[in-house]
Structure 1
């Protein structure tokens, strides 16, 4: 189940990062934002991994917030308190 959950997180994040890469670099020249001595490929690579990291974190938070009470409490769900 853990491996499947990581697939749910990593694959959409990878696709989103690829789309972000295409959109951003359609409008921004990597030569304009590159530190001195960096090649265009280095900027493309670094940007992709930054985009992937951000979208990976977003997908992880979404997956974390979608867990049920049973999953969070390892199957132990208490009855509601009656007053």
Structure 2
């Protein structure tokens, strides 16, 4: 179980770092507004919230992949199995 948790959280952590860097390199978080009001008063809060939201979405994607891989039948065509050795 811990191994699967590592398979889900570690790649999603790396993806969240990259997504956070790309987003906040392009946009100033203090300029984000909703209804004419700024969403964040503090850049650090925006970076933190953005990182955890990205991490949550990436972890959900990784967890779904892990779940779907574990539910495949081994004899199913197109399953996630290595090719037989010759």
Q: Structure 1 or 2: larger helix share?
A: 1
| TM-score when normalising by structure 2 | 0.73
What runs of 5+ residues in structure 1 fail to find an aligned partner? 71-83
| TM-score when normalising by structure 1 | 0.76
Cα-Cα RMSD:
1.4
1:69 Cα deviation after fit? 3.6
Matched, 1:40 2:40: no
Q: Structure 1 or 2: larger strand share?
A: 2
Q: Which contiguous aligned blocks of 4+ residues in structure 1 show a shift greater than 3 angstroms?
A: none
What runs of 5+ residues in structure 2 fail to find an aligned partner? 33-37, 75-86
Structure with max Cα Rg:
1
The number of residues matched between the two structures is 68
